Structure 1
């Protein structure tokens, strides 16, 4: 199973519907995640990371939905189209990742 590692040069880019791009900087620690085998004998890689918001980016995220996320890893870059909403198979709740920051940034201010 391929490991996507984070390092000091890793970044998270969020493209907003208003056309702006927000860049989040990875905190300077290398991390390739942990391999965990589940009860059905499947291997799963769990990777966690911490990113810092750049000055001024919170205001942008409060006012525009996210359309695309790009993750720059140590050796690879991956793009993800952000869904407007989806229903979780795990808890049966509806989530709205497109407007996650608009709906939740007030929690950290």
Structure 2
């Protein structure tokens, strides 16, 4: 991830509804949720939720998958891991043990 991707990623999360939607999707992994269900949980109109999900898709935070007539959204855990790694890459003036609590383990849940 480069700095421009990071800026786009952070910008996408700098809005309350989008951040809440991402947090819901993280909790709902691995099954994901339809846009309508996310909108219902957040009490947001469907068209507004679709616009927010489009921003999250473009910035890499979510991925979508068509299932029959529905589009199911998933948190992109790989992108989340890459973003966290970007933040701690040059952590603590070459003393990585200080940043160890922030390091995300490399596990299969980040492979999407």
Shorter-chain-normalised TM-score: which range? Answer: under 0.3
- TM-score (norm: length of structure 1): 0.23
Which structure features the higher share of strand residues?
1
Counting helix residues as a fraction of each chain, which structure ranks higher?
A: 2
| Superposition TM-score, scaled by structure 2 size | 0.23
